[in-house]
């Protein structure tokens, strides 16, 4: 019974990405002006989710594509943070962190962990950097006091979604290779948690994108 619940969560919660996509379709002209990088993020999420499930169904190792997705995911999300933070924090610092990761990820994929293993190093580092960016965003809005009602801000909801998702996923990503050696029940619990975090992310993204329209 418990395993059935975990399988259901793992199998179906990722489809909440289509909620974000639906909102993006309705708010497309506003999103394109305010946060165009989110259109790329959602496009990648749909494509790689479909590809992953297709390859899994065929019994093909899809981990090489996870390395590619991690690289692209970080690149797109970092564009969002660079846009929101560049006028408050050092651009050199932001670019150094972004470029440093984009150099490290392929090195890790081909020379350290290998493309057929879970990229725990890159995923963990991605989480750390994006969590840092998220806290930098909160620090910025608290000090600038330009955002009087944060919950009406698109960037606030997007940042909150990324913070919750990457904070919660950090442990799962760090321990992925260890978890794969444990019992099936432990693996199910870990990845069901990840799927729920993914669902929360896309719910918060949907709220944020909905608020791009002028009021």
Tens digits of residue pLDDT in 129-179: 999 999 999 999 988 766 677 888 899 999 999 999 999 988 777 666 566
Q: Residue 1: in which H helix or E strand, if any?
A: none
Tens digits of residue pLDDT in 21-41: 999 999 999 999 999 999 999
* HSE of 172, CA atoms in CB hemisphere, 13 A: 18
Q: What Rg do the C-alpha atoms of the chain give, in angstroms?
A: 18
- pTM, whole model, 2 decimals? 0.90
**Residue 197, C-beta contacts closer than 8 angstroms, at least 6 positions apart:** 164, 165, 168, 169
Measured distance CA(138)–CA(136) in Å, rounded: 6
Query: Cβ atoms within 10 A of the Cβ of 39, count?
Result: 16
Tens digits of residue pLDDT in 179-201: 666 556 666 677 778 888 888 99
Q: Given pLDDT bands bounded at 50, 70 and 90, which one contains residue 16?
A: confident
Query: What angle, 0 to 180 degrees and rounded to 10, lies between the N-to-C axes of helices 91-107 and 120-144?
Result: 170
pLDDT at position 192 is 76
């Amino acid at each position: 019974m418990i395993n059935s619940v975990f399988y259901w969560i793992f199998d179906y919660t990722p489809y909440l990405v289509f909620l974000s996509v639906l909102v993006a379709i309705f708010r497309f002209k506003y999103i394109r002006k305010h946060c165009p990088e989110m259109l790329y993020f959602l496009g990648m999420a749909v494509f790689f989710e479909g590809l992953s499930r297709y390859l899994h169904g065929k019994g093909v190792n899809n981990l090489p594509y996870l390395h590619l997705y991690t690289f692209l995911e970080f690149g797109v999300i970092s564009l969002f943070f660079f846009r929101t933070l560049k006028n408050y924090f050092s651009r050199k610092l932001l670019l150094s962190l972004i470029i440093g990761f984009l150099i490290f990820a392929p090195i890790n994929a081909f020379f350290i962990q290998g493309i057929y293993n879970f990229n725990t190093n890159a995923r963990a580092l991605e989480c750390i950097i994006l969590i840092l960016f998220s806290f930098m965003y909160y620090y910025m809005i608290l000090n600038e006091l330009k955002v009087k009602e944060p919950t009406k801000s698109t960037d606030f909801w997007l940042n909150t979604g990324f913070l919750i998702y990457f904070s919660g996923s950090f442990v799962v990503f760090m321990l992925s290779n260890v978890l794969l050696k444990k019992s099936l029940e432990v693996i199910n619990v870990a990845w069901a948690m990840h799927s729920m975090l993914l669902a929360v992310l896309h719910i918060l993204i949907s709220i944020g994108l909905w608020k791009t329209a002028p009021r």
